[in-house]
């Protein structure tokens, strides 16, 4: 393609390149200036991913997360953003939340327009300190390998280079570009969820840069993840000599679990499965304590609300009146629900990908769980799109995490065009 300087008129002309071929409507050609700007980011983005991979940042190694936050903050500041590293102070205490939670990087870029757009990704990983030596950054053919590169250091790099791309084009027709990179996603975002929800509520569109799938896709829906913690306090006694003097916590636990057997409704995407249980200390002692945990999944936020209420009601019905039963329901991640607005904006993304003669699927039915985009969507007024990141494989793997290098240019082109079109009122938001 010939190199063209960016001008808004050229951008609009590029969008209008539609022609009739054999009686059918053909896809518009890619906007040359945007495509070339995306291609020019490729090597720099590989270098950024290398720099990010080389800083280990396991969620519970807060000092390491703080180190990578400094790097991300500097990169966004160098691009002209107003940047601050935000400590996690409003922490939702989940069952496995560490005493200290990693920070967030919050940046804002001011433009000349009115649209408010938010870009999110996460910089923490599931890995323990010291594992980088087994997964160093390396390039092998069309794959770039590295610890955490697929989940989600490529997403952080994608955000940085999308903004760099727009700046090199001189595009500032947005009102505000808000960036939030959190450091606790892999432990269910206990310190960042409230911030993501608060910022997401004020946006015209939110784009989340988790992986875009080996077969390119945008994701509009994921199931939510919940957990139930059931505890029973009974009374110990000799199991042979005086069992009647005890209150068998194991009996009560079994009763409680069995009376919740009908709460799963798989046909509606609601699942409750008891997965862990503990009781007793010795064979000849009536157990005085028992506990169990369940995994819960739902497709709608309202389903979790109803499930929690029902569980609270059920545990009031006890087998042993002298036992004490307590239950805690955690929403570790709410569902991300597809909306008419997110479907419309995703279809616009498909049209953009067609300009590159590439397929792009839209997943609007939940196939899995776990995305910060769901927190952004809780009070969002605009569409929320997940899966804006690169194609990759091997997340949470010991030896195979990689991204597909050939996906860099198309994905940067897609991200830039989506931001441009939202900013200029050319993308549907309803």
Which CATH number is 8-222+336-423 given? 3.40.630.10
The pLDDT value given to residue 10: 39
* Dihedrals phi, psi of 379, to nearest 5 degrees: -125, 20
User: Which residue(s) pair with 294 in the sheet?
Assistant: 228, 274
* Dihedrals phi, psi of 133, to nearest 5 degrees: -60, -25
> Of 56, 61, 64, 124, which is the active-site residue?
124
Are the C-beta atoms of 165 and 41 separated by less than 8 Å?
yes
> Of 61, 185, 330, 355, which is the active-site residue?
185
User: Which residue reads 């727009």 in tokens?
Assistant: 166
User: Rounded to whole angstroms, how far apart are CA atoms 55 and 232?
Assistant: 44
124 in active site? yes
Nearest CA to 161 out of 28, 326, 44 is that of: 44
The pLDDT value given to residue 210: 98
The distance between the two most distant Cα atoms of the chain, rounded to a whole number of Å, is: 92
The pLDDT value given to residue 398: 75
SS3 string of 242-266? CHHHCECHHHHHHHHHHCCCCCCEH
User: Rounded to whole angstroms, how far apart are CA atoms 74 and 80?
Assistant: 10
The pLDDT value given to residue 376: 98
Nearest CA to 7 out of 35, 33, 38, 40 is that of: 33
DSSP for residue 339: -
User: Which residue reads 């703080």 in tokens?
Assistant: 66
Nearest CA to 122 out of 58, 32, 33, 50 is that of: 58
Are the C-beta atoms of 286 and 246 separated by less than 8 Å?
yes
User: Rounded to whole angstroms, how far apart are CA atoms 166 and 164?
Assistant: 6
- The runs of H, that is alpha helices, within 247-388 are 249-258, 301-314, 340-354, 373-377
The pLDDT value given to residue 28: 78
Q: Which CATH class is domain 227-333?
A: alpha beta
Nearest CA to 82 out of 59, 110, 102, 104 is that of: 110
Residue 314 CB coordination number (10 Å): 15
252 in active site? no
The pLDDT value given to residue 367: 74
What residue spans define the domains of the chain? 8-222+336-423, 227-333
Give average pLDDT by consecutive 10-residue segment, the chain, 430 residues: 38 40 54 98 98 98 98 98 97 96 98 98 97 95 97 98 98 98 98 98 98 96 96 98 98 98 94 97 98 96 96 98 98 96 98 97 86 97 98 88 98 98 97
């Amino acid at each position: 393609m010939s190199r063209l300087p960016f001008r808004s008129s050229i951008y609009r002309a590029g969008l209008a390149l539609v022609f009739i071929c054999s009686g059918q409507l053909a896809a518009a050609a890619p906007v040359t200036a945007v495509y070339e700007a995306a291609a020019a980011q490729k090597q720099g983005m590989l270098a950024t991913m290398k720099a990010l991979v080389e800083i280990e940042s396991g969620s519970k190694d807060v000092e390491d997360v703080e180190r990578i936050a400094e790097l991300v903050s500097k990169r966004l500041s160098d691009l002209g953003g107003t940047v601050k590293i935000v400590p996690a102070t409003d922490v939702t205490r989940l069952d496995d939340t560490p005493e200290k939670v990693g920070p967030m990087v919050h940046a804002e870029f001011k433009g000349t327009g009115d649209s408010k757009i938010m870009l999110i990704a996460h910089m923490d990983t599931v890995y323990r300190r010291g594992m980088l030596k087994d997964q160093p950054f390396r390039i092998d053919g069309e794959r770039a390998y590295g610890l955490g590169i697929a989940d989600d250091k490529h997403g952080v790099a994608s955000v940085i280079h999308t903004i760099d791309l727009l700046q090199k084009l001189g595009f500032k027709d947005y009102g505000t570009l808000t960036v939030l990179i959190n450091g606790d996603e892999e432990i269910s975002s206990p310190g960042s969820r409230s911030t993501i929800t608060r910022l997401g509520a004020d946006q015209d569109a939110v784009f989340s840069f988790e992986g875009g799938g080996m077969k390119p896709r945008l994701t509009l829906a994921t199931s939510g993840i919940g957990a139930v913690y059931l505890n029973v306090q009974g009374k110990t006694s000799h199991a042979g000599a005086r069992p009647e003097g005890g209150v068998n916590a194991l009996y009560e636990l079994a009763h409680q679990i069995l009376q919740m057997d009908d709460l799963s409704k798989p046909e509606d995407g609601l699942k409750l499965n008891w997965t862990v249980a503990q009781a007793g200390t010795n064979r000849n002692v009536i157990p005085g304590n028992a506990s169990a945990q369940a995994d819960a999944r739902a497709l709608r936020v309202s389903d979790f609300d109803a499930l929690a209420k029902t569980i609270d009601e059920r545990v009031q019905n006890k087998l042993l009146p002298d036992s004490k039963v307590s239950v805690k329901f955690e929403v570790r991640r709410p569902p991300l629900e597809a909306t008419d607005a997110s479907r419309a904006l995703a279809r616009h993304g498909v049209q953009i990908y067609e300009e590159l003669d590439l397929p792009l699927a839209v997943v609007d039915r939940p196939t899995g769980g776990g995305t910060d985009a769901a927190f952004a969507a809780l009070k969002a007024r605009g569409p929320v799109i997940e899966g804006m990141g690169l194609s990759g494989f091997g997340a949470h793997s010991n030896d195979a995490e990689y991204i597909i290098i050939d996906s860099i240019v198309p994905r940067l082109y897609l991200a830039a065009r989506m931001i441009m079109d939202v900013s200029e009122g050319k993308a549907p938001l309803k």
